[in-house]
Structure 1
Amino acid sequence: VVSTAMGVVMGGLSGYYGGRLDNLIQRLIELLRSFPTIPLWLALSMILPPHWPSHWVYFGVVTVLSLIGWTGLARVVRGQYLALREKEFVLAARALGASDGAIIFRHILPNIASYLIVSATLALPGMILGESTMSFLGLGIKEPMTSWGLLLRDAQSLQALQLYPWLLTPGLFIVAAVLAFNFVGDAIRDAFDPYAIQ
């Protein structure tokens, strides 16, 4: 939700207003996307104090993933706004004296709502993989809370896997959850796409 909201706001501002604001936001996106993901997660997760309780660490991990995960959506939303801001219904609303906020939220945003729903559904697997990776590396959720990545930490050694092969079970749940969200996202996209083959 946080990364989708950030992507919509930043991409909408960039695409609707253009100019210097567009250049500034696009350079920020390029800067964030130029860093490799896992080292950036490691650096940002080191900001979290080690003495925090588990639920604070969880919200910290969510915040870290959200601060990185909005850039791709912002780029696509920018393109949608660039295409829609010159359409007749937007020009008519502007000619009738509608404010920028009304045009952005009441005219353009509803026209890309179906894409945003699909994008949010398809972003969930990335967040699941990101949280599992951080917890697996010991930088995410800590005991007594648990997550699939934290449970997979017990399966790091080959000897443990030979003696206890069921330690890989959380990995199967990660795969199943990621595939399920991808299938749901594809189904929603096909349902919203008017040109989809029936």
Structure 2
Amino acid sequence: MKKFVKSLAVVLVAISTVGCCSEKQCGEVCSKEEAVYEVIMTRRSIRDYKEEPVCREQMAKILEAGIYAPSAINMQPWAVRVVDNKEFIDGVTAIAVASNPKIAEQPGFRNLFRNAPTVAFIACPEESYSGEYDCGLLSQNMMLSAWSMGIGSCCLGSVVPVMNMEEAKPYMERLQLPEGYKLLVGIAFGYPAQDAPAAPERDASKAFYVE
């Protein structure tokens, strides 16, 4: 009983301390909340990049933010492979264009990855019941952290069928994915070549309280 009373006292002191935070502390918390909200609300899918690859120090932070995403029972089922090798990107692009020449007719076309100089390939176990959801959380963490550093991104499901083609097998092997893993998505990263377009309206009616 004495232990319980002592523990309760500690909790009450902690609560009172939080409740009596200074104006400065409250301001700092609000500022952080606004910063996170601002990143979420201003992020855009970027489809035009400068040719310069993303700085590897910045990419390391983006990867760190990604792997700190939540996952079912903390299994961390993802496998992430980053490519900033122009030869690799151009090689995969050539395979895609050979199978569908119309791709190269897009204005300003340079590569399959929306002209991005850096690409992250995300994979998960084929048999995982939650791997795809977990990798979705990882991907969003990566894209949001990138945007906070002025780095654009674009989630690309269309690269998966290309990477799964027989002609692309040498490139898939270079990713060194673990046995039994499947490629889910590619994420383009790069420094935006122009300002992002305004965000289209969202349908707020799709999210509501249930009484």
Please confirm whether the aligned pair reaches a TM-score higher than 0.5, indicating the same fold. Answer: no
More contact order relative to length (CA 8 Å, sep ≥ 6): 2
TM-score by length of 1: 0.24
TM-score by length of 2: 0.23
| Between structures 1 and 2, the one with greater helix share | 1
